[in-house]
Amino acid sequence: MMLAAILPAFAMTRIEGRPFGDFGLPPQRIFRRNFWIGSLWGIAGISALMFALHVAGAFEFGSLALHGTRIMKFAAYHGALFLLTALFEEFLLRGYSQWVLSRGINFWPAAVFLSVAFGYIHKSNPGEAKTGLIAAGLIGFFLCLTLRRTGNLWWAVGFHMAWDWGETFLYSVPDSGALLPGHLLNSTLHGPVWLSGGSVGPEGSYLVFGIIAGLWLAFDRIYKSRCASSCGADTPVRSL
């Protein structure tokens, strides 16, 4: 799926006469500073949510489900899995699609449209619910802000990968309704669905909206616009 999303853009670079990096993933920035900072924010964000759920009595860490070298093996496996997932979803909905739509209807209207689409595509996940769909859409909208301020998708890719890795492997809870094998802990979620998230997992908890708001406010304060003075208010920022 990642290749299906990214490879056609390489053909469009010839048609458009533009470097591939203009579509959000400049190769020279792969695994550079923005990616790792985004990863730290992703781990911090999901950790804040899980600890809030723990304090509220809706999450228990439980015992270790893995031991020895299996911990490292599954940690690496899930890291690779969610890196591919992040590359696919970010480029599909905040890469070339965002770039094209921004040219027609400007950046933020395009971001709203594609964030709604991002939430909607999670509807087919088993165990997903309306609260989780809204949360996914709002996280997608936050990642549009990171694209706007950093100039490319590497911060968002790092965040997306780390958030999913932390949710699925580190804290071992459902991620948008899916609980994958090879998780670290025998953790449990309990309590009312509005608090615990139920079958959706933490993204179905009402507490996730406070975390998203906090992420938006913190990022907006720390990352000021890098748009040049000649850049219009609704013109997408070019890759750094």
Instruction: Supply the pLDDT for residue 236.
Output: 40
Residues of the chain where predicted confidence (pLDDT) is lower than 50? 227-240
- DSSP tally for the chain: helices H, then strands E: 9, 2
9-13, long-range: CB within 8 Å, 24+ apart, which pairs? 9/91, 9/95, 9/96, 12/96
DSSP H or E stretch at residue 60: strand 59-60
Distance of alpha carbon 87 from alpha carbon 194, whole angstroms? 30
Structure confidence at residue 22 (pLDDT): 86
Helix (H) or strand (E) holding 189: strand 188-189
The reported pLDDT for the residue numbered 226 is 56
pLDDT (0 to 100) of residue 235? 40
What's the pLDDT at 210? 97
Spatial separation of the C-alpha atoms in residues 160 and 175, rounded to whole Å: 12
Q: Which helix (H) or strand (E) holds 59?
A: strand 59-60
Are the C-beta atoms of 53 and 59 separated by less than 8 Å? yes
